[in-house]
Every structure is written in C-alpha cells, then in structure tokens.
Structure 1
Amino acid sequence: MIRRLYLVVIVSIGLFLNRVSGFLLQPESRESRPTSCKLHVLTPPRSRSDVAPKSAAMKSKRQKSKRKVHIIKKFSRRKPKDVTIQDPELFALFGSDAFADDPIGLEDKRRDALSRISINLNKLSTILTTWSRSNVSDADDRCYRVLERLRNGDENGRFRVNRSVYYAVINAFARRGKIQQAEQLREEMTQYGLSPNGATYVALWDAYVNSGRLEEAEVIIHEFIGNSDVVATPRQIIGMFTKTIGAWATQAEDEGAADECRRLLYDLRHVGHCVGDPLIRPSLATYTAVIDAHAKRGRAADAEAILVEMLHESEPFEPSIVPINAMMSGWSKSHAMDGANQCKNWMQTVKTMSASKPDLKPDANTYTALIEAYSKRKQPRLAEQYLTEMIQEAGVRPKTIRPFSMVMNAYAKSRDPHGATKCRRLTQQLRKLARDTGNNRLRPNLITYTTTIDAFARRGMAMPAEKELRDLLDDKSIDDPTVVPFNSCLNAWAKSKRSDAPERCQRLLNEMMGLSKRRYPSLLPNAVTFTCVLEACRKRCRGEVAEKVLNQMLEAIPPNEDSVRAFSMTLQAFSSSNSKEAPEECRRLLNKMLDLSKDSAFYAPNAITYTIVIKAFAKRGMVETAEELLVEMLHQPNIQLVNVYPFNSVLSGVGKSNVQDAPDRCERILNLMEQHKVVPDFVTFTTLLVVYAGRDMAEEAESILRQLQGHPSIKPNAITYSTVADAWAKSNATNAKDRHRRILDEMQRELAKGDKQFVADVSHISKMAARTS
C-alpha cells in the first residue's frame, strides 16, 4: 500500500511539473492568435515505418520523441515546400501531430501536447534554423518570441538557452537586415556565457555587407579570425573577403573604393601568411573583383598591375579569361589615348598564351572590349575589322548586338561620308546572323535602327533615313517604338536641302500623332519633335507653316522649357522672310506670348525673343518701333541679363535708314547701354562709325577710331581706317585733306606690321575700289 502511494505521489509531481512548464508556449487567446501562414519545410515521404499503427497509443514516450527528432532532421536537410500550418512555434516544438483541422479543438490538443512532451533544445534550434532561412516575412519575430519564452523560463530555473538557439534568431534578424537587434542578441549571449560560433559571425557579416556598412563588416571579419574559440575555415575567410571586396567595387560614388578593394586583397594575403595556411590566399574571384573595381573607375593601369601580380602568383590559378576581360574593359572605357593599343597588345598576349593553355581563349567579352576601345576613339574601321575577325576567323558568336551597336555608333558619328551606308550594311549582317544562329537577341532592335537613322540624319540624307524608319515600323519584333527614331528622321529633313522639308516634317508629325492614338501611345510627339519641325520651317523662312506647328504644340503638350524656344523659332521664320507683313506678324506673336505668360512663366519672352522682333522692324527701316521694343524689353521684370545684340540690331537699323536724326538716336541707344552696363563690342563701334561717316560727320567718325585704338580688347581693322579716311575725303572741312592723309599714313604703318587679317582686308578694299572705278 505504501509503495502504491509513493508511485501515485511521484506520478502526480511529474504531471504537475509538466503542466507548470507548459507556460513556455501557452496558447494565446483565439482573437490574438496569428492567422494561418505558410512555412517552407519539407513534408517527409510517408513510408510504412513512419505510419503509426493503430496501437501507437501504447508506444512509449521515448520512442515517439525519437521518431519526431528523426523527422525534424529530414525537414532541415531537404528542400522545403509549402505546407499550411496554424502555429509555427507549436510546430517547431512538438511536430505536426499537435495540429487538428478543427480550430475549436486546437486549444485542448495544445494543452494535452504540453502535458505529454518535454522541450528538446537541439530539436528546437534545428527547426528555428529552418525558420530563419525561410522566406516567411515575420520569421524573425516568431523566432524571437520563442527565444523570449525560453529566457523567461531560464530565469525561473527551468529551461536553458543554448548557442544554437541564439544563432538561429540572430540569423533570422541578420537575413532581414535588422542588424541592431542581431548585435544586441550577440551581446546578450556573453551574459549567458555563450560565445558566438562561426555561423553567427558569418550571419552578422553578411548583414553588414548587404546593408552597405562595409567598415563594420571588416570589423566582424577580423573578430571572427581573431577569436580562438571559433574555427574559421579557409573557404569562409576567402569568401568573406571576396564578397566584401565585391561590395566595395559596387560603391559607385566612393572614389576610394578601388583602393579599399586593393587593401583588402593585401589583408587577405597577410592573414594567410600570419596563420601559416597556404590555402588562405586570394582566389581567382578575389583578384577579378579587385581588377574590376579599378577598371570601372578608369584606372586601367592599376587594374593591369594587379592582373600581372595574379599571373605571377607562386601557385598559379587555373587559366581564365575573366580577369583579363575585366582589365581590357578598363582600358577600353578609359580616356587614355593608347587604350586601344593596350587592348590590342593584350589580345595578342591571350592568343599567344592559348597555344600552351587551350582553355585560355578570347571570348565574346574579350573582342567586345577591343571593339569598344576602337569605337570610342573614333576608329570605326579597325573596330569593324575585329568584329569581322571575331565572327569569321575566331568563330566566336556574339551573345548580344552590343559590339555591332558600338561599331555602328562610331560610324554614325564619324566623318566618313559612307558611314550611314555602312551602318545599314551592319544592320543587314545582324539579320543574317540572327537567322543563321537562331538567336533572336541578335536581331536589329530599336537602338540599331535609331543609330542608322541618326547616321543618315547627320549627313542630311533624309530619304534613306525615312526608309529606315519605315523598316522599323514594319519590323514586328519591335513591340513599342519610341519618338527617338522619328525625331532623328525629322532632324534629317530639317538639315536637308529639300525645299519641301517643312511639308515632309509636318506629314511625319501628323503620322506620329495618329499612331499615338491608334497603336503606339509611346509615339506621342514631345518638345524635341515639334522643335525639329520648327527648325525645318525656320531655315526656309516658312512662317505660316511654323505657326501651324506651334499651335499644334500648344495643344499637344503642356508648357515647358522649350516653349519660348518654339516661339523664337517661329518668330525667326517670319523675321527672315521677305514678307512685308512679317514685322506685324512678329509683334502679334510677341503679344500672344505676353498674354500666355500671365498663366505660365514658361511663355515669358526673353532677350532672344525680343531681339528677333526688334530685328524684324529694324532691318525694314521701322527704327522708331524697334527702339520702342528695346525700351519695352528693358522694363520686363523677368529679363535680368541683357546682352549687346538687341542694341546692335537697333543701331544697325538706324544706320541703314534715312532718318535725319540718326546720330541723336545712336546717342540715346549708347546712353541706354551705359545705364544697363552693357559693354559695346566691335559691331557697335563699326555701326556708329558708318552712321557718322555717311552723314558728313568725319570728326565724330575719327573719335570712334580713337576709342577703338585705346580699347583693351577691340582693335580697328583696315575697313575701319578706310571708312574714316573716306569720311575725311568727302568732308568739306578746311583741314580735311591733311586729316585724310594722316589716316592713310596710320593705315600704312599698321599694314607694315604684317598682320595677315589686316593685309587681307586691304587687299579686299583695293579690289572693291578697282571694280568701282
């Protein structure tokens, strides 16, 4: 009887302790319990040994626990797949048998599971590690919640937190970029007498690298290597250094990033010497990352020096073309004049090395770097030569159209008169290569078409440019054309010598607007499109057509920086024409700009706009209106900086007019220039000289000559001396002959100095005088 009582007491105490320990994962209220989510774990295949027989309830607790540990290990080793669960924390601790499809009965099953199963920290850490590596967004919070319950239990003396559990939670935070929380947990580990393991260091280092905090990442590396309690493998050390170097290499804004990469390269080499492990040394990937960091920053010579160091390593690497390609890319992108020759020399070196090392052969990237080097240095013929060698002799097929595009771009911008034709030939070659290889990536794309059109446009060959544009629109592989090739074609028509260019441009503009509404919204004309059409109208003085295009622009696009330029081009088209109504048309457009500027500052006229209108009135002798417009411009609040051109336009109009008060008007304009601190130039003085000389004011004309002689930057030319001498020759003054002779003597002295321009001007004056006589 006593033995039975003793057994009952022992069993009761055990059950009591199990129930008390259940607070570790006490279920939350049904309202606050997290909703179902997906955990990436592996569902093990159900074999006969895994299927519980009907008498499973009779098995011992020890056997059941062993089976669960075996299943959990399978979960962590195999590739996970999605499994819908209700509570991942409970799953991590007790396995899938603690779940039920019936959510109402889940609470009872939890309590029953807590009363029957004790916590296994090894099992828990394994599952938490699986959680930390999963793609579940809140996995870090769930892992941390488990850690908190373990810590609370540890304070009461019931549970112990081991290093693996901490690693799992730290890794969960680190993988999600929560470095501060991960560092706090690492400090907390020391309070429990737990030192970080290698995986903990790697997780923290990886988090620092991914967040761009590379200095802290280097500190973690050195702590990892210097911790005698942790074994760092050569593979881990090399991998950490290499990835850190690669992260430095991507720091585009940091000019010293390349130097940091090189320093880390030498640090890694120093670590290997200090440890005495020959396996700890820079790998091929390490050297390639350092070379690439220097090459991308235009430091091709430094990249080449590092490559030479790699090739002279005591234990050479397996032959690889990758670091050589990175170095050659640096030479091709650099501004060095001999960059192309350096790439050529390295190409010859690779060909020589390939005789003894068959695996080391030039590939598509090698040839692309060489082609880019010659293309950037405006040597398209040599670039095309190596492109042909790559395809025909070396048998290397380009993976993309990039080498073709670089050669075509070089031809388009070259001075070769047949450059556009060669671009078209390369486009046809691309079509054939894509057809022969079956590689659709080699088919001509939007860039190649645009380059060819631009090549024709630069040479004023509008018809071939438009033909290429039609081929682009007919190419079904081009899904979404842009306005760029259309703008290039319009530019070709604007630069051509065809008189019908404005109508051609307007037809293309209308076609673009129609296609943008029916098929391609990306073809909606932009400001560049309209300005190309307006340029064609301006060059041919077609003001009426230009105004129609301007109105289309005002309706199609909102006001922008090009709005004033569009108005100025339209005004220029009217001003340069021979129409008598041109000045009034210019004045009308100027008033329209002033009205529109009340709603948008983009339409406010500037000094160029006023100068065009002033010139339209001045060159037709309407000097009074031109002067009024000049005064109006000076009172515009948005025009702060005024140059000399509008003043010269009015002076030129006054000089060519027959007004009697021309000298007085010139004096007024000079006073305005002085008030607004506008410095007169050579045209200003010459115009005044013509005004005075043509009105028998030789004294005033000579005073202008003396001002020019004393000017620090403007010197009189032969025409200036000739004009003043001619003014004295026609003067009725008593001393006119003496003054005339003196001016001619000064002119002879200037001619004796041997100035080429002065001599040429004298020769021109002599020829003109001979023709007149």
Structure 2
Amino acid sequence: MKLSSAAVCAFLLFTTKGVNGFATPFTSLAHRLSTQLSVQQDENNVASYDNPLSKAHPRDKPRKKTGNLSPSKRRRLEKRPMKNDRSNAIAKGNDPLLSLNINLDYLAKSGRAIHAEELLVKIEKMFESGYYVVRPDNVSYNSVLNAYAMNESEEYDSVKEVQRLLKKMETLSEQGLSAVQPNIVTLNTVCLAFAKNNQPEKAHQLLNDMEELYQSGKKDLGPNTITFNSVICAYAKAKKQQEAEDLLKRMMTISRENDGEREDEIKADTIAFNTILHAWAVSNIRGAPLRAQQLLDHMTTLYNAGNEDVKPDVFSYTATLSAWAGATYDPQAADRALEILHLMENQCALGNKDACPNAVTYTAVINCVGKSKKPNAALEAYEILLSMEKRWREGEEDLRPDLITYSSVIDAFARSGEDYAGEKAVELLDYMITLAESGYPQYGPNTQTYCSVISALGKSKMRGNADAANQLLNDMEKMYELGNTDVAPNTIIFNAVIDAWAKSSFRFKALRARDLVDKMETEFQAGNIHYKPDIITYNSVINAGASAFGDQTVKSNAFRIAMDAFKRIQLTDDLKANSVTYSLLLKAIRKLISKEEQRQKMSGLGYMGTDPKDLRSFPESWKCNAGR
C-alpha cells in the first residue's frame, strides 16, 4: 500500500482548523488528495504481483465447509509446492495473497487497525499450520502499518504500534523471510505516524536515517518526495514553518544535484509549497503574509521557467489570500488580497483551470476586505457576496456561498460601525434563516453569526437597535430550549447585548443592562457555566450606567447600578477590576452626580472598595484623576 505525499498532507493539515476560524480553506484539496491516494494504493497492490490478476473476491462464491484436515490430507498439503498452489489459484482467477491484501486494505481504510492486525496474525498462523497456501508479505504488513498510522483512536499509541510492527518485520526479514522485508513504503508509513502524532523531530531523524541507508548502498530505501513531504507536513502541523522551509530548500538542492542515479527522483512539488503556505497562513505571526507572498512568487517564477512540478493552483493562491486576511495590522492587506484574486481571475480566463477561484477563495477575500480599514469595506465585501450569488445561480457551482461566507459579510458590517450596518446584518441573518427553513440546513446561523449581528446592531447606534439585539437573544434562548444547540447563548452573546444597550439612546438602558446581568448570575448559580459573567460583563453594565442621561432620578438610579456592578466585581473571587473598570467608574461619578456628592463618594462613603472603603481603593495612578 503506497502512501502518497498528497495523502500525508491531506490527513495532517487539511483536517485541522483552518485560517481565521474557517473549517479549512482546503477541504476540496483533501477530497482530491484522498481520491489520488486510493488510486495509487490499488495500483500498488496489483503491481506487486508478477501476473495480471482477476479482481475476484473470495466472498464472490459460497465457501465450502472443509472441516479439519485429516493427517493424510495434511501430509499431501505439506508436500505440495506452494508455488504450484498459488499458480493454480491464479489460473482459476483468484490469488489468495491478493485477496488477503485487499481485505487488509479495506480494513485499513475503514480505520479498523486492530481488526486488520488480527486478520494478519490469523493468516500467519493458518499458513504455519498448513491451512493457508501463502504467507503475508510486506504489502500485507504495510496495510496494517497504515491502518495504525492513519487511525485517530485513543485506544492505543499509534507510534508505538507502528514501531512494534516495524521491528517485527525486521526480525522476520533477518530470519530469512525476505517477502516481509521493510521497503520504502514501510518507512514512509512510519514517518507518517511520527508526523501525525506531532513528533516532527523523529520524522526528520527517520528521513536522515533513510538518507544514510541510501548512501550506504541500499538505494531502494532512500527517501523520496513522499518522505520529504511527510516531514514538511509534520513541521507545518507543529507550527515550525522555518524548519519546513529548510526541508523544502534541501529538496530543491537534491533535485538540482541529482545525477540520475536516484530511481525515485526527489522533487519539490506544488504539495510541498502549498503545505508551507498553509502553515504560514494559520500562524498568526507578524510578517507571515509577506513570507507566504514570497513563496507564491517563487512558485510562479519556477513555473514560468518551465518547472511543471510547482505550478501554483487554487490552493496556493487561497492560502496566500488567507494569510493576508489575518494581517489586520497591514493597511495594504486588502489590496494585496484583491490583486491575487484578480490574478487568479485573469489566469482562469486564459484557460488555466487550476487557478480558477472558488467559494473558499472569495470568502477569504471577503474576510480580508471586511477586516480592513478601507472606506466602505463592508459594502465592498457585500458586493463580492452578491457577485458570488449571481454567478452561482448562473451555473458556476464552485462559487456557491456557504455559512462562513455569509457570516464573514455580517462580521464586516459589525466592524464597520456604519449606521446602516445593523439593518444589513439583520437582512443577511433573515436570509440565512429562510434558506435553512427551505431545506438548506447548512446555512442555519450559529452562535457566532448571531453575535456578529448583535455587535453590528450595537455599533450602528440606530434607535431601536438595542431592543432588536435583545430580541435576538430571546430568539436564541427559545431555539436552544427547543433543541437547537448551534445557537446556544453564552457570556459573549450577553456581553454584546449589554454593550448594545450601553451604546443606545434609550433612557433606561442601565436598568436593561442590570436585568441582563441579574439573569446571567441566576443562570450561573443554577449550574449553567455558559452564563457566567466576566469582567467585560460588569464593565459593560458600568458603562451603561455612566452613559445614562435624563433627569436626576434617572441618573441617580444609573449611578447606583454602576456602583453595584463595581461592588459585584469586588465580591467575586476570580474577578479583578482593571483600568477600563476604573475609567468607566470615574466617568459615572463625573456625569451622574453633583460635585458635592462626588467629593463625598471619593471620601469613602462605602462605594469605592471593600475594607477600608475609601479613596485608597483606587490604583495610585488614578488618584490624581479622582481628585479633580
């Protein structure tokens, strides 16, 4: 069973969480690579035999009950040359070893490693007892090795199991059973196990050991492109981008210096570059987008010079786009992303189908533009979404927006703070709900979606937005009670609603904020840990009080609510007032009570701390402000 570098990368990288909260920008790549792996494995199984064999399976015909072998029959079986038995089986259209390996391969792909090894051991015992005409070979062992390497079960340590089986193969080989001698597929599978289990250094050491075997004359055990890509994936998964790049450079050096002696030539390919691009994209390291851009540019240069192995594809471009999407500190990030998108569109128009942008690509651009400081960034992101929808409805299936696409546009509106943002966000939310209720449950909004809509309502400050945000919270609670766990309310949601009230023009907003925190405390005390108020919760309540307006009665009530929130912070063991807390508290004192009352409060009438309850409750740096 041959493991492709594609399969390694698909398993190691593309099942992990992707860029900026995306499930993964490379889901379609993982599917494509898995398909390639299946084809390669089937071809390798058949190619390991001398004759073209029928695909007939033992279960195609009913089995005959043979019972126990008589002593005379056993003696005849022992005297019968195994080669003839296998030849007879082949002549009848069925090779027992091929049948075994097909079964092992099936179990391996089904993630049933223990069952695969049980079958392997059973056949070995049957062979030794004369009940089976052939002994399992290294293809058989490699199937079981692969089952352990690729399986994510916590029942066993896959690295230990793979090392144990490798040791067994080496022992049997030393005893003269050359058919089970470890080969390059064996070693690559062990390398994969190290890589998958976050042991890149061990994978790298195995690669070095394989290189030493090659230099010592064992040419068939030298590392190949698959080996290098496995270790590159291991380092990428471990967020060691520089080590991965160093291996890529080593591959390119070996490729340049290759004298033609290597049977399996080592070539830096698109998969290796894409793996590193993805690693930079998810790294959140300052400067990562520029490094990803440099790698993409290098790929383009090599390809234009005639190197077909490193042709940039949609995954190369999308990974680089995603890297720029995370560079919120760079004012040029959105423009860079749009440049890449336009390059892809031009390449696609010229016939390069590998470069055609898909929904993931456009979503990455929306994410990047939405997070930028560009004027009207949210509207630009919205226009990209509308263009996607139009082209999808016209037949471009790859451009169908998904939940992440819509959520990214809503998030863009939330970040904009524009007056129209709340209304637009609610429109998109309603559209997503309509889609979900029309038979497309994949578009159903989740907690994060609602949070973005509530934030958009709060930041746009339009009259009635806070009440709309509160209503969305009520809707979430009702849906959650009916069993929709995707929209479970939590502390972040409550904080967003309280913040919406604090920023609203509603006179009694402090009362609404207090009601929400009271509800959170009640639910938390009843055992709902997702409702636990945090420092942001109480700061938002203080802010709601500090920004209250109206007659003195309203202001006095708002001040009491703000002071009560501060006292709750003081009485909560795992909470500590921060600079924001004190700043908002001073704002409340300054805006809500008279100067005489301010002096009384600051003199220690019981609101400013625990014991002693006086001005000393403030940090030293705030005393000058408090005395003004």
TM-score by length of 2: 0.64
Quick one: which of 84, 91, 96 aligns to 2:64?
96
Q: SS at 1:81's partner residue?
A: helix
Deviation readout 1:574-615 (Å, 9 max, x if unpaired): 5644454458857997xxxxxxxxxxxxxxxxxx8646479x
Quick one: which of 259, 278, 303 aligns to 1:329?
278
Are the aligned partners of 2:608 and 2:618 in contact in 1 as well (CA < 8 Å)? no
**Aligned positions of 1:631-670 closer than 5 A:** 638=573, 656-657=595-596
Report the alpha carbon displacement of residue 229 of structure 1 after superposing the two structures with TM. Answer: 2.9
Report the alpha carbon displacement of residue 411 of structure 1 after superposing the two structures with TM. Answer: 1.4
Partner of 1:411: 369
Are 2:184 and 1:220 equivalent residues in the alignment? no
- Structure 1 distance, partners of 2:119, 2:254, is 47
**Aligned positions of 1:439-478 closer than 5 A:** 439=397, 441-460=398-417, 461-475=421-435, 476=438, 477=440, 478=442
Partner of 2:203: 261
Are 2:510 and 1:560 equivalent residues in the alignment? no
Are the aligned partners of 2:603 and 2:614 in contact in 1 as well (CA < 8 Å)? no
Are 2:484 and 1:539 equivalent residues in the alignment? no
Pair 339,643 (structure 1): closer, same or farther in 2 beyond 3 Å: closer
Q: SS at 2:374's partner residue?
A: coil
Q: SS at 1:262's partner residue?
A: helix
Deviation readout 1:79-131 (Å, 9 max, x if unpaired): 343778xxxxxxxxxx6155xxxxxxxxxxx69x8599547366899979967
Are the aligned partners of 2:370 and 2:412 in contact in 1 as well (CA < 8 Å)? yes
Partner of 1:237: 183
Are 2:286 and 1:314 equivalent residues in the alignment? no
Deviation readout 1:655-679 (Å, 9 max, x if unpaired): 9327999998699999955999967
Partner of 2:197: 251
Are 2:325 and 1:375 equivalent residues in the alignment? yes
Partner of 1:41: none
Q: Quote the RMSD (CA, aligned, Å).
A: 5.3
Question: One-letter code of the match for 2:529?
Answer: N
Are the aligned partners of 1:587 and 1:613 in contact in 2 as well (CA < 8 Å)? no
Quick one: which of 292, 298, 302 aligns to 2:240?
298
Are the aligned partners of 1:502 and 1:545 in contact in 2 as well (CA < 8 Å)? no
Partner of 2:339: 385
Partner of 1:434: 392
Question: One-letter code of the match for 1:458?
Answer: R
Deviation readout 1:551-586 (Å, 9 max, x if unpaired): 776898864364445577456535644454458857
Pair 288,399 (structure 1): closer, same or farther in 2 beyond 3 Å: farther
Are the aligned partners of 2:293 and 2:320 in contact in 1 as well (CA < 8 Å)? yes
- Structure 1 distance, partners of 2:608, 2:406, is 53
- Structure 1 distance, partners of 2:603, 2:497, is 43
- Structure 1 distance, partners of 2:363, 2:565, is 43
Pair 383,78 (structure 1): closer, same or farther in 2 beyond 3 Å: same
Report the alpha carbon displacement of residue 348 of structure 1 after superposing the two structures with TM. Answer: 4.9
Pair 508,346 (structure 1): closer, same or farther in 2 beyond 3 Å: closer
Pair 343,292 (structure 1): closer, same or farther in 2 beyond 3 Å: farther
Report the alpha carbon displacement of residue 222 of structure 1 after superposing the two structures with TM. Answer: 8.9
- Structure 1 distance, partners of 2:425, 2:601, is 52
- Structure 2 distance, partners of 1:517, 1:640, is 30
- Structure 2 distance, partners of 1:131, 1:463, is 63
Partner of 1:573: 544
Pair 514,654 (structure 1): closer, same or farther in 2 beyond 3 Å: closer
Quick one: which of 428, 437, 450 aligns to 1:486?
450
Q: How many residues align?
A: 514
Pair 646,344 (structure 1): closer, same or farther in 2 beyond 3 Å: closer
- Structure 1 distance, partners of 2:340, 2:603, is 71
Report the alpha carbon displacement of residue 456 of structure 1 after superposing the two structures with TM. Answer: 0.9
Partner of 1:275: 217
Are the aligned partners of 2:366 and 2:409 in contact in 1 as well (CA < 8 Å)? yes
Question: One-letter code of the match for 1:684?
Answer: K
Question: One-letter code of the match for 1:560?
Answer: I
Which structure has more RCO (C-alpha within 8 Å, separation ≥ 6)?
2
Q: SS at 1:289's partner residue?
A: helix
Report the alpha carbon displacement of residue 421 of structure 1 after superposing the two structures with TM. Answer: 1.6
Pair 529,205 (structure 1): closer, same or farther in 2 beyond 3 Å: closer
Are 2:389 and 1:422 equivalent residues in the alignment? no
Are the aligned partners of 1:401 and 1:442 in contact in 2 as well (CA < 8 Å)? yes
Report the alpha carbon displacement of residue 324 of structure 1 after superposing the two structures with TM. Answer: 3.1
Question: One-letter code of the match for 1:314?
Answer: D
Are the aligned partners of 1:303 and 1:327 in contact in 2 as well (CA < 8 Å)? no
- Structure 2 distance, partners of 1:343, 1:646, is 44
Report the alpha carbon displacement of residue 450 of structure 1 after superposing the two structures with TM. Answer: 0.9
- Structure 1 distance, partners of 2:399, 2:483, is 26
- Structure 1 distance, partners of 2:308, 2:609, is 81
Report the alpha carbon displacement of residue 330 of structure 1 after superposing the two structures with TM. Answer: 4.0
Question: One-letter code of the match for 2:455?
Answer: N
Are the aligned partners of 1:147 and 1:165 in contact in 2 as well (CA < 8 Å)? no
Q: SS at 2:159's partner residue?
A: coil
Give the greater-gyration-radius structure (CA).
Answer: 1
Report the alpha carbon displacement of residue 519 of structure 1 after superposing the two structures with TM. Answer: 10
- Structure 2 distance, partners of 1:261, 1:199, is 22
Are the aligned partners of 1:332 and 1:370 in contact in 2 as well (CA < 8 Å)? yes
Structure 2: runs of 5 or more not aligned: 1-51, 90-94, 151-157
Structure 1: runs of 5 or more not aligned: 1-73, 85-94, 99-109, 152-159, 169-196, 590-607, 615-632, 691-773
- Structure 2 distance, partners of 1:660, 1:330, is 57
Are the aligned partners of 2:607 and 2:613 in contact in 1 as well (CA < 8 Å)? no
Q: SS at 1:229's partner residue?
A: coil
Question: One-letter code of the match for 1:389?
Answer: L
Report the alpha carbon displacement of residue 491 of structure 1 after superposing the two structures with TM. Answer: 0.8
The 10-residue stretch of structure 1 (445-454 or 222-231) with the greater mean CA deviation from structure 2: 222-231
Pair 264,666 (structure 1): closer, same or farther in 2 beyond 3 Å: same
Percent sequence identity over matched residues?
Answer: 17
Report the alpha carbon displacement of residue 289 of structure 1 after superposing the two structures with TM. Answer: 1.9
Question: One-letter code of the match for 1:337?
Answer: G
Are the aligned partners of 2:203 and 2:231 in contact in 1 as well (CA < 8 Å)? yes
Partner of 2:227: 286
Q: SS at 1:213's partner residue?
A: helix
Pair 332,262 (structure 1): closer, same or farther in 2 beyond 3 Å: same
Q: SS at 1:356's partner residue?
A: coil
- Structure 1 distance, partners of 2:455, 2:471, is 14
- Structure 1 distance, partners of 2:321, 2:574, is 49
Pair 231,432 (structure 1): closer, same or farther in 2 beyond 3 Å: farther
Are the aligned partners of 1:453 and 1:468 in contact in 2 as well (CA < 8 Å)? yes
- Structure 1 distance, partners of 2:599, 2:236, is 72
Q: SS at 1:417's partner residue?
A: coil
- Structure 1 distance, partners of 2:491, 2:609, is 39
Q: SS at 1:314's partner residue?
A: coil
Q: SS at 2:461's partner residue?
A: coil
- Structure 2 distance, partners of 1:286, 1:431, is 42
